[in-house]
């Protein structure tokens, strides 16, 4: 079994990824007009929604993962 | 020799899949155009500026659309009437492309996203079947709902697949072979749909989809449910089915060893399960309902490995689908990311939940969801029969009643799954804690 991560490092990671995720969501919704127009232009612009979804999944996914660990919700056996 | 034969077949599958991508199958309907209305004239025509190309065209308004109902200078999706294969210039329906998002709608998307993610992380698929109708009930046009949902599916599946791979459950090789076969299956599914549409029209196509949906979900769902209860009652570990054992014993080259799944089986038996998954995905939009049982009962994987591997398939298929819908510019990224905000929590919770439960719990959830979801499509059948003139038309009250059954049974499926998964996870976690303390 891997050694458990310390609460302190989990908290730092959660805060960093949480802040990054929050900033990304803020950026998106504060530029709603530009985003909705540009992202739906079709053709090669498909890289915008697909790339953004990937970026959010890395950042927000890491935040969610660390947040759950911080709450003590871990898989059985601690993978 | 064996290795090069496997590579050759997988390469051919990928080529077919790439060809399918280039052919543009699986994207939005051709009679859908996107752009802005610039002006409405007194003769019931309107000047429309197409998005991207900027081309201006004159469209006729159908009798049901009043000139004052046409939104000017707002991005809209216009569905044009069709006559056989021909697309006319008559407007059938106008939908505002970007809905306003008050707090109530945001909360609704987050809740559905969370439970959909939980289900997806646990059984490998699901969520999508309720997300699309839920978005449509919030006022999102159908094509935008499908596109935005698809774009949320692949990152969610990616995170879920990664987690379950870390837990030693997902078989990446099996997932990639299945996904490449499934993309070929999607193309076959689309061709069958086209054939039915050409011969029996829209109502016939709807009836075919619904009947397939109900028959497959009831038959497979009942079997999965029965199997799960047998295992729960007997308290035994799941056995590989006789069919899967027989197929694994047939030495038909190329034989492939799937290390994580612990299976050695001919590629000739793996590919058809993938193709069937894709065909079903093209027909009823939830390929996982055949993919997971196929992996369990035909290939011989455990429910744990099958549901985890389905996430790999969902990632590949979802990414392919998202590129298709993105090429047509129909993804509302705001909706995608709002669902994702909650579903990335849900999918990871569902994935780690599988480490606390026995194999049969996955089958119980899957069987229950399939059976309840089949009710939603079953409730649509009377309407389609009436459209085909095979029964008397439905009264408006009855039509509303059947629609309500259809929608709420989807919500019930999601709620049931959420409750079973949460209860099983909490029970498993408490047991694990009691054991360690």
Sign of CA dihedral B28, B126, B195, B207: negative
What residues does each domain of chain A span?
A: 18-44
Q: If you search the block for the tokens 């993978």, which residue do you land on?
A: A79
pLDDT of residue B1 exceeding 80, the answer is no
- In this structure, how many other beta carbons lie within 10 angstroms of the beta carbon of residue B41? 11
Q: What span, in angstroms and rounded, lies between the C-alpha atoms of B291 and A56?
A: 28
pLDDT of residue A7 exceeding 70, the answer is yes
> What's the token pair of residue B102?
């008050």
Domains of chain B, start order: 32-96 (2.40.50.140), 101-436 (no CATH)
Residue B25 backbone phi and psi in degrees, to 5? -65, 150
C-beta atoms of A49 and B326 within 8 A: yes
> In terms of C-beta density within 10 A (0-12 exposed, 13-18 middle, 19 or more buried), how is residue B73 classed?
exposed
* ipTM here: 0.92
pLDDT of residue A2 exceeding 70, the answer is no
Q: Which of B89-103, B155-169, B234-248 reaches the highest mean pLDDT?
A: B155-169
Q: Is A73 helix (H, G, I), strand (E, B) or coil?
A: coil
Q: What span, in angstroms and rounded, lies between the C-alpha atoms of B51 and A38?
A: 11
* Mutation for testing the B interface, residue in A1, A2, A30, A57 having most B CBs under 10 Å: A57
Instruction: For residues A39-63, give the mean pLDDT.
Output: 93
Instruction: For residues A26-43, give the mean pLDDT.
Output: 90
pLDDT value of position B25: 43
Q: What span, in angstroms and rounded, lies between the C-alpha atoms of B437 and B427?
A: 15
pLDDT value of position B43: 84
pLDDT value of position A75: 87
Instruction: Pick the closest to residue B288 from B217, B212, B187 (CA basis).
Output: B217
Instruction: For residues B388-406, give the mean pLDDT.
Output: 84
> In terms of C-beta density within 10 A (0-12 exposed, 13-18 middle, 19 or more buried), how is residue B140 classed?
buried
- Measured between CB atoms, does B97 come within 8 Å of chain A? yes
- pLDDT tens track for B53-111: 888 899 998 888 888 888 888 888 888 888 767 888 888 888 888 888 889 889 989 99
Instruction: Pick the closest to residue B228 from B362, B371, B423, B414 (CA basis).
Output: B362
Q: Is A69 helix (H, G, I), strand (E, B) or coil?
A: helix
pLDDT of residue A79 exceeding 60, the answer is no
Q: Is B331 helix (H, G, I), strand (E, B) or coil?
A: coil
- Measured between beta carbons, the chain B residues lying within 8 angstroms of A46 are 322-323, 326-327, 329, 331
C-beta atoms of B329 and A29 within 8 A: no
pLDDT value of position A27: 95
- In this structure, how many other beta carbons lie within 10 angstroms of the beta carbon of residue B312? 27
Strand partners, B263: B258
- pLDDT tens track for B338-386: 999 999 999 999 999 899 988 888 999 989 888 888 888 788 888 888 8
pLDDT value of position B18: 47
Element (H, E) at B33: strand B32-40
C-beta atoms of B326 and A64 within 8 A: no
> What's the token pair of residue B145?
């709902």
């Amino acid at each position: 079994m891997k050694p458990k991560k310390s609460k302190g490092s989990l908290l730092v990671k959660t805060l960093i990824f949480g802040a990054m995720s929050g900033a990304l969501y803020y950026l998106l919704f504060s530029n709603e007009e530009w985003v909705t127009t540009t992202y739906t232009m079709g053709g090669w612009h498909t890289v915008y929604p697909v790339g953004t979804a990937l970026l959010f999944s890395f950042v927000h996914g890491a935040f969610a993962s660390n947040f759950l660990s911080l709450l003590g919700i871990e898989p059985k056996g601690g993978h | 020799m064996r290795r090069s034969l496997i590579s050759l077949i997988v390469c051919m599958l990928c080529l077919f899949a790439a060809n399918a991508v280039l052919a543009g199958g699986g994207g939005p309907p051709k009679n859908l155009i996107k752009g802005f209305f610039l002006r409405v004239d007194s003769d019931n025509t309107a000047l429309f500026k197409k998005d991207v190309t900027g081309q201006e065209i004159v469209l006729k308004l159908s009798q049901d659309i009043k000139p004052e109902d046409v939104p000017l200078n707002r991005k809209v999706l216009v569905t044009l009437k069709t006559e056989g294969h021909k697309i006319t210039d008559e407007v059938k329906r106008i939908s505002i492309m970007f809905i306003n998002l008050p707090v109530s709608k945001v909360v609704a998307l987050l809740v559905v996203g969370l439970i959909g993610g939980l289900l997806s992380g646990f059984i490998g698929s699901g969520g999508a079947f309720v997300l699309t109708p839920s978005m449509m009930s919030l006022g999102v046009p159908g094509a935008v709902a499908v596109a935005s949902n698809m774009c949320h599916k692949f990152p969610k599946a990616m995170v879920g697949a990664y987690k379950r791979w870390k837990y030693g459950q997902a078989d990446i090789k099996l997932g990639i072979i299945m996904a490449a076969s499934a993309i070929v299956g999607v193309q076959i599914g689309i061709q069958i749909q086209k054939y039915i549409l050409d011969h029996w029209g829209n109502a016939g196509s709807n009836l075919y989809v619904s009947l397939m949906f109900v028959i497959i979900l009831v038959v497979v769902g009942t079997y999965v449910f029965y199997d799960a209860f047998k295992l729960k009652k007997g308290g035994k570990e799941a056995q590989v089915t006789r069919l899967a054992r027989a197929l694994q014993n047939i030495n038909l080259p190329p034989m492939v060893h799937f290390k994580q799944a612990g299976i050695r089986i001919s590629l000739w038996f793996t590919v058809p399960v993938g193709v069937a998954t894709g065909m079903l995905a093209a027909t009823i939009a939830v390929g996982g309902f055949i993919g997971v049982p196929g992996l369990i009962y035909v290939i011989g994987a455990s429910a744990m490995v099958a549901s985890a591997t389905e996430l790999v398939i969902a990632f590949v298929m979802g990414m392919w689908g998202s590129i298709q819908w993105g090429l047509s510019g129909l993804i509302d990224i705001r909706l995608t990311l709002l669902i994702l905000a909650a579903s990335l929590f849900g999918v990871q919770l569902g994935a780690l939940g599988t480490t606390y439960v026995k194999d049969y719990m996955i089958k119980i959830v899957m069987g229950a969801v399939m059976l309840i979801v089949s009710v939603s499509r079953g409730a649509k059948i009377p309407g389609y029969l009436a459209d085909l003139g095979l029964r008397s038309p439905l009264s408006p009250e009855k039509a509303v009643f059947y629609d309500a059954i259809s929608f709420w049974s989807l919500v019930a499926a999601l709620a049931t799954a959420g409750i079973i998964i949460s209860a099983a996870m909490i029970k498993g976690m408490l047991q694990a804690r009691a054991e360690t303390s």
